Amino acid sequence: MEDLKAQMGDSLISLTYGEAGMGYPEDLTGGGISWRVMTYYDLPMGGAAANGVDAGNIGTVDVNSLTANPISMIADLEITSKVSGTNNKIADITVKVTAKKVLPAKAKLHIIVFQTRLNWQDEYGMTPSNGQIYMVNAVRDLVSDSTGEPVSALAAGEAQSITKTFTADPKVKYPDSLRVSAILQVEDTKEILSVSQTKKSPLGISPIVVSHHILNKTELEIASAGFQKIGVTLPFSNASVRIYTTAGRIVKSQNCIGVKGQRVSITLPEADGVFIIKLFAGKDLYTVFTVPSNGN
């Protein structure tokens, strides 16, 4: 994995799709996004592809799948977006493709908007029949459709820009959690030539930091062997809690059911380093706690 991360930087990501027949909304599954993806890759339900190659069941895919089918990264994909709607719900997404080596004429660009964390009960008021309430990096829109956008044959150093318009689904309660992924792919073989993703929402929405607390180790309590906890006064009713490493990786998520001002306990994962705890409200507000973990 480290070799792949060095090769691809922050572009390495696994996208997930709601399965048809599992109770997910139709626009994302049957006849919608999931169906088009399975058709495009000729995959069975619940199947996965690594660099365009069938990698079996999604539960069995690991880094070896990408190692066996590495992405050449022969082009740089620069993703920018400009909000064009009056309600911050529409964005023009532009991907600039700059060839690092000769780019074949059969390449197509796929522009995908995904959500970093999707809670079906929270956003749709439903539980899928397979019981999977949460999805990570869930695809919300194939902005370029499943056919993609054709990219001209490019010599090394040449560039081409493609712009597509994205309209956010009004059911998305947390538009700040949306991201854009761009995939440059050979249409007939499905080989991926390059990938990239954004770190911010294409709608230009950033959560507002209400307050930032830096805790001391003396403020931590022992929850059980190897685990610690902190007591937090809820700044919002029914806050959504996410715990990150300093590298930005989510290590724990939970909902704190309670009213504003209520005292709750949050148990930290067993790990060394520093934790960043964010308590989110429903309207793009959050409070941050920077917490030392075991060994600090």
pLDDT band with cut points at 50, 70 and 90 for residue 180: very high
Q: Which two tokens stand for residue 246?
A: 């300093």
Checking if the pLDDT of 5 tops 50, the result is no
Residue 216 corresponds to which tokens in the numbers above? 């001391």
- Whether 2-197 shares its CATH topology with 208-292 is answered yes
**CATH fold group of domain 2-197:** Immunoglobulin-like (2.60.40)
**Tens of pLDDT, residues 75-128:** 999 999 998 766 678 999 999 999 999 998 889 999 989 888 777 877 777 777
The CATH number of domain 208-292 is 2.60.40: yes
User: Which pLDDT score, from 0 to 100, does residue 149 have?
Assistant: 93
Sole residue written with tokens 């399975």: 38
pLDDT at residue 158 in the model: 97
At 144 the pLDDT is 84
Show me where the domains of the chain are located.
2-197, 208-292
Q: Checking DSSP bridges between strand 285-292 and strand 208-214, what pairing results, if any?
A: parallel
Q: Assess contact for 134 and 194: CB atoms under 8 A.
A: no
Cα–Cα distances in angstroms (integers) from residue 244 to residues 155, 241, 249, 274, 295, in the given order: 41, 10, 5, 9, 17
pTM of the model: 0.65
> What CA–CA distance (Å, rounded) separates 161 from 15?
24
